[in-house]
Structure 1
Amino acid sequence: MNHSQMYSRWLAPLLGVVFVALYLLTLTKVHTYDALSYVLDVDRKPWPELFHPHHLLYGPLGALIRWLATGLGWQGSAELWLQAVNALAGAAGVVLLFLLGRAVTGSTIAALAAALSVGWSYAYWYYAVEVEVYTLAAVALIAALWLLAAIARRPRWQTAFWLGVAHGVAVLGHQTNALLAVPALVTLGLAVSDHRDRLRLAMAYLLPLGFIVGGAYLWVAFGVSGMRRWDEVWAWLTGYARTGFWGGAIDGAKLAGLGKGWSETLAMNGGAIIGALACALLLAGWRGIARLPRSLLAGLLSWLLVYGLFFLWWEPDNIEFWIASLPPLAVLLSAALATRHPLDRWRAGLAGGAGVALAVVLLALNLPAIVERGDANRDLQRRIAAALAELSQPGDLIIVPDGVLELYLPHYWGRDTVYGLNQAMTASGGDWPAACTLIHQRVETALASGYAVLIADEAQHPAPAPPGQPPTPAERFGLTAEQVAACYAPLQAKLRPVALAADLPSYRMIPRANALLWTDGWDFRAGRWGWRATGVVAEAMTAAGWQVKPAFDPALISPPLLFSLADVAAIEVRLAATTTARDAQLFLLDPAGQTSEAYSLRFTLTQGPAVATYRLDVTALADRLDLVGGLRFDPVSAGDGGTVIVESIRLVRRPVGGGE
């Protein structure tokens, strides 16, 4: 074996080792929204709930990876393991592209240049170090492309069968890879001339494809998910297509998005120049491309055409979707760089060298971009999440302006009660008044449980998306800033500014019940603050306070509290009553929330409808009850047709030293 053969033999394994090391060393610590969604699903959901219709395979695969990691003694999130699997898959894809390019063109240097160009392109690299579906799907597409090339050289039904299998896996990796059926059938149709042979190849390809994809979707729909009607299945399969977020007319904005998407697919900085140089190499090497088998060339071109048109319509500026178009481009680039000049060998070497140089430029451009993009210390959203986590406690409701914050907070800091406009609109079926009601219900539930509520100013007053950026959630749902602001208007009187760093977005807080104890108490002119009424005929929040029409045994009950009665001198109640009954009672609940006559104070309301202040001395109760778990105020024992307006309730702290 000469040196050239030995070099060629060991180049593929060496390439794999280099890319495995590169991808593992550059694993991102800043995740996309979808990536964190998958991580949280895998970490928390049982496997039957992990079947996403648009990438059916990834969730259960993640559950399997987590199960294996747990079996090895791993504790914690599956995040790192999922990234590692993507990194290994990404490296495998680069090696397969190299071997495919060499098999198709016979040129090691041309195949190496094309494989390196894909492996060092920004989109492929970033999603190989992320937790996403696209890398695994891309490896299946590369395997399918390998089989297409084999069929172009030697049409065999066995190869077509495995093509169907590979394509089926690609579709389960991501639903849009159903588009591969067009280039596959084009290649199969042109690979043979006899109609019976074409039919035989087509059936050998379509049967395993249909069995894998159809069988998997039917099993999940009717078996795992328990659907019983075809319209349910159709709604499940096409949910994204009916949101109105994607698709639409192909106009100037779409074409501009196409340019942006492809530029950033190659490199975040300088991608347009790289794209122009790559096109120049393809044009210069057109003779090499023309030497490709006719059926394979038609398949490659139809692949680019079908995927290109679909994603131009769907979401052209999204780089994750263009990863699926990189494998056929790699084969075309290999062919273009493998120009043969028997009497002019230096020109062939020059073409290969130019391709390698292009790949090296991609490495130089994208390595800093990948490292910077994946640096958690540079991630503004993580800084915001960390600041909110420091201000909040588990159980506090945090209303964010959507985006990755609603996943960062539960994943990294255990703040699970995160809400936003997107969740509310999804839960309400796109009905804004119903969504606004849901937001208020979430706020009231948090306050009634004694928790705080933090709300982003941007959530209350959404700004329009900057030019060239995707629309905001409010814009996607067709909501104006005024509509959103009107929903939050009733909460303004309760909101308090919170201290975040000057370069972070502004948030405001409704303090938790225990925090209000020692400050202003509960001023019901601003709202209920989580208190609830029982035994009333009617109630309303007015400018004068909380107006109730008592029935039998009316009561106003506080959120859960916890304080020592030894710290309290008195409880002050301000109210006005038009009832004939004037017998009021204040209960101090024990830590279990139970009432007792022994822990209560009775008092008589003054005559007349004017607001009066009642200062109730609780020092005598301190010997009977140490820790208080809440308050219950009965304004009268029974209603008689009159009303009671409670303006406020507050605690008066016992002065240090014990005197008043």
Structure 2
Amino acid sequence: MIASITDRIYTNKSKNDTLLLYAALFVIALVYLSTLSVNHSEAEDSLYYLMDISRGSLADQVHPNHILYNLINFLFLNFWKLLGYEGGPELPVKLVNIIGSLFSLLLVYLLATGLRFHIILRYFCVFAIAFSCGFWWYSVECETYILPIVFVLLCLRQLMQIQIEFFRPANHLLLAVFYAIAILFHQQHALLGVPIIISYFLIFYFHRDKITPKVFFSRIILYILVCSLLVLVSYFIVALLVKRLTTYDQIANWAQGWMNKRPIKLGYWSIGSTVLGSIGFLRTFIGGHFLFSFESFSNFLQKNLPSFMLKEEIFLVRDLNLFQSISLSLASLCIVLALIWIIINISKARFLTRSMSCETDSDRLRFFITLLLLYLLTYSLFNIWWEPQNVEHWISIVPASVLVFALFTNRIIHKLEIKVGIIIIAICLFFVNLIGSILPQTKQYNDYWYVFNSWFIENCNAKDVVLSGSGVISDGYVKYYSEAKVISIFPDPDDRPIEKKFQEFLHYQKPERILFSSTVYSPPEEYRQKFDIDYSAANGFFQRSRTYLTLLHCDSWQEIYLYNKDR
């Protein structure tokens, strides 16, 4: 009878926990749906993905850096259309990201539960990740960085299972499948192979009395073979059947994606890149856009970082008043002070003590924190080397960072002041990012490049061609919103100057109107500082074309000319 009552209490508690979790995820979903992004300046590739998904062929859906992302969204969008949907691609694509975010948060909760986190810490992990600026912003955007996190977390969860049940081949097969899918969603997650392989050897070393070398090597080879085959076969199928590539060199060049367009050079690791990496990492949690509303701060950064396009951030938060900016600064300070207070308390306590419930729990915690630290180290080193200030690349380590913090905090969570500190961090994080970063990006008039190109967006169509020098982000706005063709002064992969691209375009196309932007001869100063490009050729081409140009429109952003030469 006592056992029956105990079982009933446990079952009811489990049901209550499940209902509470679903309620939390439902609230997060509502917040996400009410803060969908309309500002794409931060996620600069999003408009190009949307164009491929909504207007492109099947071959356009398989970008080498993330084969599955466009394809999944392409299928989802067309499924909606079969049901009668007649809107644009943005809503369905954002919904896919939100679904991926919710699954990621569910997996984080399950990991925290498996590690016996206090319930406050379990929900802290969920909310701190959900409302960190990078994770939140890209969950409501049309970008690639959220969906692979689901499979990265499945890999971490599967590795914990392998540590317990190493002998089962199915465990290693599942790990290989999850890892391969993570890579196919984004090549960045090939990095996960480093902590996975090291984890295999750690498991073998600490369980060498049970796991023989024969069993160990058979399992690790099984994992490597399966994930390698899945990734390589996927790339070859896509390259041969979808992209219609015929030679090995063509396939290899295509598969490298951005790496092929940006040759690898050593020397990215430096004090400067480490500082930029630290800023990028911190901004993934606290966006800090509100700081650009302080004129002295924004002027200082523009003066000292001339190659950074900071106008987007400044424009985004120009409507924040002084009271809001100061309040958000104080809330951010509260987050920092609460973190410092908790870290000081952690340093006074031993992370793993003899009070662990059993040796198995202790082994599992040691293994998992080692795995997470390896994961953080691998990704951080790469991010600092590759593009340290880019928030996009740091999003993938947000769940691991929060879980590491929670693992250390779990030993002292019984203290009231620690619980209060955790709650303060979660609440302040939500409001700082909501008011200081997320809400401004839900308004079209805060989108720098949309406003910059508003004349083109309102007056151009698919029969027009625009010659522009305002960069790839700006060009994406003109292409997506107006469907006009864009010829840029920036060199393409074939290194063709703008005049040659223009003449070749006219040879094959017959546009209704040809429009010149004044940015052809006067590109943004930030691009002049950042890119080593000879602008004299574009300027010379513009000057030679002046005879045929009629001023059509002039605003505070640019002058727009109509090209009148007979053709």
Q: TM-score, normalised to structure 1's length?
A: 0.69
Structure-2 residue corresponding to 1:28:
37
Distance 1:393 1:66 in 2: 23
Checking the alignment, whether the CA contact within 8 Å between 2:65 and 2:186 is kept in structure 1 is yes
Distance 1:280 1:149 in 2: 31
Deviations 1:120-155 (A, max 9, x none): 100000110001111101111112122223333443
Distance 1:439 1:252 in 2: 43
Checking the alignment, whether the CA contact within 8 Å between 1:245 and 1:476 is kept in structure 2 is no
| Residue 295 (structure 1) aligned to one of 367, 379, 384 | 367
Within the alignment, does 1:242 sit opposite 2:260 as a pair? yes
- Residue 431 of structure 1 deviates from its aligned partner by 4.4
Checking the alignment, whether the CA contact within 8 Å between 2:335 and 2:424 is kept in structure 1 is no
Checking the alignment, whether the CA contact within 8 Å between 1:183 and 1:298 is kept in structure 2 is no
Pairwise mapping of residues 480-629 of structure 1 onto structure 2 (< 5 A)?
A: 480-501=534-555, 504-511=556-563, 529-531=565-567
- Residue 410 of structure 1 deviates from its aligned partner by 3.3
Checking the alignment, whether the CA contact within 8 Å between 2:554 and 2:560 is kept in structure 1 is no
Distance 1:392 1:85, change over 3 A: closer
Within the alignment, does 1:354 sit opposite 2:354 as a pair? no
- Residue 207 of structure 1 deviates from its aligned partner by 3.1
- Residue 483 of structure 1 deviates from its aligned partner by 4.0
Letter in 2 for 1:506: Q
| Residue 19 (structure 1) aligned to one of 17, 28, 34 | 28
Within the alignment, does 1:260 sit opposite 2:279 as a pair? yes
Structure-2 residue corresponding to 1:430:
495
Checking the alignment, whether the CA contact within 8 Å between 1:452 and 1:511 is kept in structure 2 is yes
- Residue 461 of structure 1 deviates from its aligned partner by 1.8
| Residue 75 (structure 1) aligned to one of 83, 86, 94 | 86
Structure-1 residue corresponding to 2:481:
412
| Residue 163 (structure 2) aligned to one of 152, 162, 185 | 152
Distance 1:180 1:6, change over 3 A: same
- Residue 361 of structure 1 deviates from its aligned partner by 1.1
Checking the alignment, whether the CA contact within 8 Å between 1:115 and 1:330 is kept in structure 2 is no
Letter in 2 for 1:530: D
- Residue 509 of structure 1 deviates from its aligned partner by 0.8
Checking the alignment, whether the CA contact within 8 Å between 1:265 and 1:322 is kept in structure 2 is yes
Checking the alignment, whether the CA contact within 8 Å between 1:101 and 1:330 is kept in structure 2 is no
Deviations 1:43-85 (A, max 9, x none): 1122233111100111211221022111111124222101011
Checking the alignment, whether the CA contact within 8 Å between 1:457 and 1:507 is kept in structure 2 is yes
- Shift >6 Å, 4+ stretches: 443-446
Structure-1 residue corresponding to 2:138:
127
The secondary structure found in structure 1 opposite 2:453 is helix
| Residue 163 (structure 1) aligned to one of 175, 188, 208 | 175
Within the alignment, does 1:114 sit opposite 2:117 as a pair? no
Checking the alignment, whether the CA contact within 8 Å between 1:114 and 1:333 is kept in structure 2 is no
Q: Which moved more, 1:161-170 or 1:281-290?
A: 281-290
Distance 1:326 1:114, change over 3 A: same
Deviations 1:413-465 (A, max 9, x none): 3x32222124xx215x1244xx432135547877xx47333222223222431
Distance 1:205 1:273 in 2: 45
| Residue 461 (structure 1) aligned to one of 522, 525, 528 | 522
Deviations 1:152-197 (A, max 9, x none): 3443432222111111111011001011011112222222323334
Checking the alignment, whether the CA contact within 8 Å between 1:246 and 1:315 is kept in structure 2 is no
Structure-2 residue corresponding to 1:452:
513
| Residue 233 (structure 1) aligned to one of 228, 251, 254 | 251
Distance 2:400 2:550 in 1: 57
Distance 1:169 1:142 in 2: 12
Distance 1:444 1:237, change over 3 A: closer
More strand, by proportion: 1
- Residue 198 of structure 1 deviates from its aligned partner by 2.6
Distance 1:305 1:272, change over 3 A: farther
Within the alignment, does 1:181 sit opposite 2:193 as a pair? yes
Distance 2:80 2:274 in 1: 44
Checking the alignment, whether the CA contact within 8 Å between 1:102 and 1:110 is kept in structure 2 is no
Within the alignment, does 1:365 sit opposite 2:432 as a pair? yes
The secondary structure found in structure 2 opposite 1:508 is strand
The secondary structure found in structure 2 opposite 1:419 is strand
The secondary structure found in structure 2 opposite 1:484 is helix
- Residue 28 of structure 1 deviates from its aligned partner by 0.6
Distance 1:393 1:461 in 2: 24
Distance 1:186 1:294, change over 3 A: farther
Distance 2:425 2:50 in 1: 35
Distance 1:302 1:157 in 2: 24
Deviations 1:340-374 (A, max 9, x none): 58xxx4x2x43243223212111011112111023
Within the alignment, does 1:137 sit opposite 2:189 as a pair? no
Distance 1:441 1:24 in 2: 44
The secondary structure found in structure 2 opposite 1:426 is coil
Structure-2 residue corresponding to 1:557:
none
Distance 1:220 1:445, change over 3 A: closer
Checking the alignment, whether the CA contact within 8 Å between 1:186 and 1:298 is kept in structure 2 is no
Distance 1:125 1:407 in 2: 23
- Residue 232 of structure 1 deviates from its aligned partner by 1.5
Letter in 2 for 1:29: V
Structure-2 residue corresponding to 1:330:
402
Which structure's CA Rg is the greater one? 1
Distance 2:115 2:232 in 1: 32
- Residue 24 of structure 1 deviates from its aligned partner by 1.2
Structure-2 residue corresponding to 1:563:
none
Within the alignment, does 1:50 sit opposite 2:85 as a pair? no
Distance 1:393 1:198, change over 3 A: closer
Structure 1 residue runs without a partner (length 5+): 466-471, 513-528, 532-660
Distance 1:65 1:272 in 2: 42
Checking the alignment, whether the CA contact within 8 Å between 1:105 and 1:335 is kept in structure 2 is no
Query: Percent of pairs identical after alignment?
Result: 20
Distance 1:300 1:38 in 2: 31
C-alpha RMSD over aligned residues: 2.7
Within the alignment, does 1:66 sit opposite 2:77 as a pair? yes
Pairwise mapping of residues 299-314 of structure 1 onto structure 2 (< 5 A)?
A: 299-314=371-386
Letter in 2 for 1:430: D
Within the alignment, does 1:321 sit opposite 2:332 as a pair? no
- Residue 29 of structure 1 deviates from its aligned partner by 1.1
Structure-2 residue corresponding to 1:218:
236
Checking the alignment, whether the CA contact within 8 Å between 2:284 and 2:395 is kept in structure 1 is yes
- Residue 22 of structure 1 deviates from its aligned partner by 1.3
Letter in 2 for 1:137: P
The secondary structure found in structure 2 opposite 1:166 is helix
Distance 1:129 1:283 in 2: 35
Specify which structure has the bigger relative contact order, considering alpha-carbon pairs within 8 angstroms and separated by 6 or more residues.
Answer: 2
Deviations 1:491-524 (A, max 9, x none): 12332333344xx312231255xxxxxxxxxxxx
More helix, by proportion: 2
Within the alignment, does 1:208 sit opposite 2:226 as a pair? yes
Q: TM-score, normalised to structure 2's length?
A: 0.80
Structure-1 residue corresponding to 2:455:
387
Distance 1:499 1:165, change over 3 A: same
The secondary structure found in structure 2 opposite 1:497 is strand
Structure-1 residue corresponding to 2:359:
none
- Residue 201 of structure 1 deviates from its aligned partner by 3.2
